[in-house]
Structure 1
Amino acid sequence: MTPEQKQKLIQLRQEVSDDLTGNILPYWTNLMVDNENGGFYGRIDGNEKIYPQAEKGGILNARILWTYSSAYRVMGDTSYLRIATRARDYILDHFIDRESGGAFMSVNADGTPGNTRKQVYTNAFFIYALAEYSRATGDKASLEEARKIFGMLEKHAADREHSGYFEVFSREWERIRERLIGEESDLTEKTMNTSLHVMEAYANLYRVSGDKEVGEKLEAMVRIFLDKIIDKNTSHLIPFLDRSWNSTAHIDSYGHDIESSWLLYEAAGLLNDRELLEQTAKASIAVANAAAEGLRPDGSMVTEKNHATGHVSPRKSWWEQAESVVGYLNAFELTGDEAYLQKSLRSWEYIKQNFIDRKNGGWYSYVSESGVPSGDKAGFWICPYHSGRMCMEILERVRE
C-alpha cells in the first residue's frame, strides 16, 4: 500500500466514524425507541412521521440488535450496549416462539405475535444478531438462543437431498410454498438471498461458538456458493433457483453480487482451509468484477438488470451503495489494485452527496436516477445494518 492510499483510507475511516457516531446511530437511538409498548417503533416515513401502531418486523429488530451490539464491541460506548440490550430483551420476550421454536416474522405494535410464519431469512438474522450480542458481551443466554434457532433450521428447513435451505414455514414448521422476496417463477424453491444470510449467520455463530457442526454447515454453504450460486459463465450470482440449483430467473442483482463477494471471503476465512480460502478469494474478485456492471460514472450502483427484457432498474438503494464501499475495499485488500480502492471511495462520495440526510439525520432509503430521495427512513426492511456495518467494517479494516 502506498502512502497516498493509506492517507485516503485514514480519511475514509474518519469520515465514516463521524457519520456513524454523529448521524446514523443517534438517529436510530433518538427516534426509534418505543417507550410506550417496548422495543422499537416499526416505521418512520420519509417525512419523519413515526407510526406507533406499525407492526414490528423481525428483520428490523434483529438488525438493530446486530448493529448496536457490533457498535458496542467495536467502540466500547455503553450507550450502544443499552440499546443492544433493549433489542435483545425485546426479541427474547416477543419474537422467539417458545412453543414451536424459531422466531416470528413480525409482532404487532403491542408485542403480541403478528405474522407467526417462520421465514428462514428472518431466522438467520436472529442467529446473526444474537451471536453478535454474545460476541460483544460474553452473554451465554443469547448464544444459546442463537444455537436453538440454528437447530430448528437444520431440523426443519434443510434440504437433505440437494443441500441448502427451503424458504418459508408455518408456525409449526410445515413448509409453505410462497413467493416472498421477488421470485419470478413457481419453480423457485431456493434463493441466493436467503442462502447468503444463512451463510452470514452461521459464520458469526461459528466465530463465537466454535461449534463443530456449525462449522461443517458453514463450509457447506460456502461450497454451495462456489459450486451452485455463482454463475460459471458470468460470475454474477443466480438469484432464484429450483430445488436442484438450476436457475429460475433472468436477473443480475448488482448489490447482492458485491455484498456476497466480501461475505463469502469472510466466511471462508473462518474455516482454516487454505485451499478453500484461495478458491474463495478468486471467486470473490470475479463476483466483484461482475458487480461493477452496475456501477455508474458518479460512483453509484443501480439495483438490477433483467436479461429477459433488457431493463436496468435506475433506482438506487441505500444498502447497495454501502455494500459497494465494503466490497470494493475488500477487493483492494485482496489484490492491491488501485482501481478497486477508487470504486470504494467513489461509492462513499456518492453516499455523502446523495444518501445522508443532512437536515433530519439518518440516511435516505432510495434515490432516483436524478438524485431525488424517496421511501421510508425506517421500516420492515429499512434498518441501520448496511450503513452501520459499512462504517464498522472500515473502522476494523483500516488502522491508523
Structure 2
Amino acid sequence: MRDSQFTFSDLVAGYVTAHDRERSLIDLRTSDGRELRVTLTETTSAEFLRNLGDPYLDASAHVNDLVEPGRYLYAYGISYPGGDRVFVAKRLLFLGRGVGDYHFEQPGWWSQQLRELARFYRRAQFGGKTPVDYADYRTVLRLGGDKADHHVQETDTISRLVYGMASAYMLTGDEDFLGVAERGTEYLRDHVRFVDRDEDVVYWYHGIDIRGGSESKLFTSEFGDDYDAIPMYEQIYALVGPTQTYRVTGDPRISDDIEGTLRLFRKFFHDPERGGYFSHIDPILLNPDHESLGVNRSRKNWNSVGDHAPAYLFNLFLATGDKRHADMLEETFDLIVEHFPEEGSPFVQERFHADWSPDRTWRWQQDAAVVGHNLKIAWNLMRMNAIRPKASYAELAEKLGRTMPDVGSDQWRGGWYDVVERTLREGSDSHRFVWHDRKAWWQQEQAILAYLVLAGNTGDADFTRHAREAASFYNAFFLDHDEGGVYFNVLADGTPYLLGNERLKGSHSMSMYHASELCFLATVYGRLLLHSEPLTLWFRPRPDGFSDRVLRVAPDALPPGRVRLDWVEVDDRPYEDFDPVAMTVNLPDATGDVVVRAHLSPVED
C-alpha cells in the first residue's frame, strides 16, 4: 500500500456530536471547534479513567451505550491520509459513566491520589522504616522508585517531599505522613540550615555531599543555571516543606527559621530602590551586583519575585494571619501587575534587569515564554485578590486565563505545552516550540489550578471547561499505574517519555511538590467552591505551637464569605471554641500535641 508510509498514530480529545451505531462512526468536536470523524473497528478497545491505586476497568463491551452526544473522551488511533482523511480508533478512554460525569470530580479522587503519591515516595525513600531516617534520602529516583548513585541530598527536593507529606496529612489524617514531614523538617534544620548571628539571618545550603559515608555541606548551587551562586529560588523552596508543616503543628522553631529567612531576603536579595528581589547573590559578599554572577548579575525573574507566593508565603499567611506577610504578598503582586505584562503579547515577561527592563538574552530562555509560569501567575493573582481585592489582580488573571488556551495548549489532543517562542514568526499563526512538543507534569498542574481557581472565583463556564479538560489529560496520561507516582513528561499524544532525566521520578527538578500541591488545592477548590461539598482537614498543634494559641484552618485564600467552619473535634471529641466565619480555633491548654479535625462547608446562597 503506497500511502501506508504516511500513516501515523495520534490522539484526539473531543466532545461527541454524533454516533452512528450501524456504521461504527463517531463525530467529535475538539476544544477549539474542529470536527473529526472517528471510525471504530472490531478490535477497538475501551476503558474508564482510573486513579492511582485503582484497578483497570474495561469498557470495550459497552462502547455503543457509552458514546453519547456531549460526552468528552479520548480516541487513540491511526490517521490515514487522502482527500477524505480517515481516523481509525484503536482505543477509547471514557472519563466517567455519563455525559458531564468526570471521575476526578468525585469527592475522594484527589485525596486518594495524594495518599498514593505519599506512599510511593515514602516507600521509595525510606522503605518500611519507622521512624524514617533521612540519611537514606536520595535526590535521584529511577522510574520505579529505585535509588540512583547520585551523591547529593538537595535541600529543595527534601523540602518538597516534606511539603507533600504535610499536605497528605492535612487531607487524610494519616499520622505516618506527618511523621515523615516532621522528621524531614528536623533534618533540614540540623543539616542544611545556617544561622548567621552576626547578620541575624537564616540561609540554607544547596545540599549535602554524602560520598564515602561522610557529610560535606554545599553552600552554593551545583545546578547549571545557578552554578557557584546562591539563587533566590533555592532559598524560597527550602521553606516550602517546613511552612506547610508549620500550618499543621505551629512549631515555634519553624516560625523562627522562616522569619530568619525572610530577613535574609530583605537584607540581601531585596531591591530597596526599585522593588522586587534579585535572582542571585554571590556567596562571598552576598551581593546581587557582583561580577562573578555573570549573566545572573543584577537580574530579577518570575522565580525570585513571584514564586514566594505559591511556595510558602500564602501558606505562611494562612497559618499566621500576620499583616506583614499580607503586605509582602501585596508588594509581590503589585510588581507583577506593573512589570510583567507586555502590550500586544499574550504572554507575560519573565526576566528583567535591575531597572525592570526586560532581559531577552538570558541563556536558554532568550525571548521564550514558559507556559506554566503564565498560568501560575493567573491562579495566584486570584488568591491574592481574595486577600486584598484589586481590580488589576482579577483583570490580569482573567486575561491570562482567556488567552492562554489558544497559545499554550494542545486543543487537538488535550494537555499543555512547555516553552514556546513569545513572538509569532512572519506568516505563522501559532507560537513555535523552543525545544519540543512534549508536555510536563508541572505545566499540567498549573493549567488545572489556574482554571479551577478562576472558575471557583468567577463561576465562568469556559474556565470550568478548561479546568475539566486539563484535569482529564493529566489523569489520563500522567499517572503511572505500573510503578506509582506520576511521569515527568509525556509526548504530545500522551505516551510517557522515558529518556534521560525525564525518565526519573526524583531529580533536581522533581520531588513530590507539584503533584501534591495539585491534589491538595484541587480538593479544596473542587469540593468547596465548584461542587458545594464539605471538606475535613487534620491538624496536630503542639502545646507550644502558635504564639497566640489560635489555629487558622482556612484551607486556602478563598473568596470571603464562600466557606465556613461547621464543626471541630479535638482528640475525637466535639469542641466548641471556634469562629465559624474567621475559620479559627482557639486551642485548649494542653501538655502534649492535640489532633484537631476541622470540618468546612460551602456557604449556601
TM-score range, shorter chain: 0.7 to 0.9
Residue 248 of structure 1: how far off its partner (Å):
1.6
Query: Partner residue of 1:189?
Result: 299
Please say if residues 181 and 245 of structure 2, whose CA atoms lie closer than 8 Å, have aligned partners that are also in contact.
Answer: yes
Of residues 154, 162, 165, the one that matches 2:277 is 165
Does residue 61 (structure 1) correspond to residue 185 (structure 2)? The answer is no
Change (3 A) 1:37 1:77: closer
Deviations 1:294-335 (A, max 9, x none): 111222100121246753141211101122111111121223
Cα distance between partner residues in 2 of 1:218 and 1:300: 30
Please say if residues 384 and 393 of structure 2, whose CA atoms lie closer than 8 Å, have aligned partners that are also in contact.
Answer: no
Query: Partner residue of 2:233?
Result: 121
Cα distance between partner residues in 1 of 2:103 and 2:457: 15
Cα distance between partner residues in 2 of 1:326 and 1:37: 31
Alignment-mate amino acid for residue 408 of structure 2: G
Cα distance between partner residues in 2 of 1:172 and 1:93: 23
Residue 219 of structure 1: how far off its partner (Å):
1.2
Of residues 420, 429, 440, the one that matches 1:305 is 420
The DSSP-based 3-state class of the residue aligned with 1:98 is strand
After TM superposition, the structure 1 = structure 2 runs for residues 197-346 of structure 1, keeping only pairs within 5 Å, are 197-200=307-310, 201-249=312-360, 250-270=367-387, 273-274=388-389, 276=390, 278-292=391-405, 293-297=407-411, 298-307=413-422, 311-312=432-433, 313-346=436-469
Change (3 A) 1:12 1:345: farther
Does residue 45 (structure 1) correspond to residue 127 (structure 2)? The answer is no
**Structure holding more strand per residue:** 2
Does residue 387 (structure 1) correspond to residue 387 (structure 2)? The answer is no
Cα distance between partner residues in 1 of 2:122 and 2:296: 41
Query: Partner residue of 1:112?
Result: 216
Please say if residues 120 and 166 of structure 1, whose CA atoms lie closer than 8 Å, have aligned partners that are also in contact.
Answer: yes
Change (3 A) 1:140 1:101: closer
The DSSP-based 3-state class of the residue aligned with 2:203 is coil
Change (3 A) 1:236 1:187: farther
The DSSP-based 3-state class of the residue aligned with 2:464 is helix
Q: TM-score, normalised by structure 2?
A: 0.60
Deviations 1:239-297 (A, max 9, x none): 11111112223222211111221122213423xx33x2x43122111122232221112
- Gapped regions of structure 1 (runs ≥ 5): none
Residue 48 of structure 1: how far off its partner (Å):
4.2
Change (3 A) 1:351 1:6: closer
Cα distance between partner residues in 1 of 2:101 and 2:438: 32
Alignment-mate amino acid for residue 497 of structure 2: P
Please say if residues 188 and 240 of structure 1, whose CA atoms lie closer than 8 Å, have aligned partners that are also in contact.
Answer: no
Residue 30 of structure 1: how far off its partner (Å):
0.5
Does residue 11 (structure 1) correspond to residue 100 (structure 2)? The answer is no
The DSSP-based 3-state class of the residue aligned with 1:60 is helix
Deviations 1:38-59 (A, max 9, x none): 2621101236441254312222
Residue 212 of structure 1: how far off its partner (Å):
3.4
Please say if residues 56 and 380 of structure 1, whose CA atoms lie closer than 8 Å, have aligned partners that are also in contact.
Answer: no
Cα distance between partner residues in 1 of 2:123 and 2:287: 39
Change (3 A) 1:17 1:203: closer
Change (3 A) 1:335 1:213: closer
Of structures 1 and 2, the larger Rg is shown by 2
Query: Partner residue of 1:32?
Result: 125
The DSSP-based 3-state class of the residue aligned with 2:414 is coil
The DSSP-based 3-state class of the residue aligned with 2:253 is helix
- Gapped regions of structure 2 (runs ≥ 5): 1-97, 221-228, 361-366, 426-430, 534-605
Residue 206 of structure 1: how far off its partner (Å):
2.7
Change (3 A) 1:32 1:156: same
Of residues 347, 350, 364, the one that matches 2:470 is 347
Cα distance between partner residues in 2 of 1:37 and 1:221: 34
Residue 178 of structure 1: how far off its partner (Å):
9.6
Query: Partner residue of 2:167?
Result: 70
Change (3 A) 1:307 1:259: closer
Deviations 1:73-120 (A, max 9, x none): 233221110110111011101111134731112222355312435321
The DSSP-based 3-state class of the residue aligned with 2:520 is helix
Alignment-mate amino acid for residue 491 of structure 2: S
Cα distance between partner residues in 2 of 1:6 and 1:311: 33
Cα distance between partner residues in 1 of 2:123 and 2:457: 38
Alignment-mate amino acid for residue 318 of structure 1: W
Query: Partner residue of 2:497?
Result: 373
Please say if residues 278 and 298 of structure 2, whose CA atoms lie closer than 8 Å, have aligned partners that are also in contact.
Answer: no
Please say if residues 168 and 178 of structure 1, whose CA atoms lie closer than 8 Å, have aligned partners that are also in contact.
Answer: no
Aligned length: 388
Please say if residues 39 and 87 of structure 1, whose CA atoms lie closer than 8 Å, have aligned partners that are also in contact.
Answer: no
The DSSP-based 3-state class of the residue aligned with 1:101 is strand
The DSSP-based 3-state class of the residue aligned with 1:320 is helix
Residue 9 of structure 1: how far off its partner (Å):
8.3
Please say if residues 255 and 291 of structure 1, whose CA atoms lie closer than 8 Å, have aligned partners that are also in contact.
Answer: no
Alignment-mate amino acid for residue 154 of structure 1: R
Query: Partner residue of 2:57?
Result: none
Change (3 A) 1:62 1:177: farther
Larger relative contact order (Cα-Cα within 8 Å, sequence gap ≥ 6): 1
Change (3 A) 1:177 1:26: farther
Cα distance between partner residues in 1 of 2:290 and 2:496: 33
User: What RMSD in Å do the two structures reach over aligned CA positions?
Assistant: 2.7
Cα distance between partner residues in 2 of 1:125 and 1:48: 23
Cα distance between partner residues in 2 of 1:139 and 1:190: 32
The DSSP-based 3-state class of the residue aligned with 1:314 is coil
Alignment-mate amino acid for residue 385 of structure 1: Y
Moved more, 228-237 or 78-87: 228-237
Change (3 A) 1:394 1:47: closer
Query: Partner residue of 2:524?
Result: 396
Cα distance between partner residues in 1 of 2:139 and 2:415: 28
The DSSP-based 3-state class of the residue aligned with 2:194 is coil
Query: Partner residue of 1:101?
Result: 202
Cα distance between partner residues in 2 of 1:360 and 1:178: 46
Give aligned-pair identity as a percent: 16
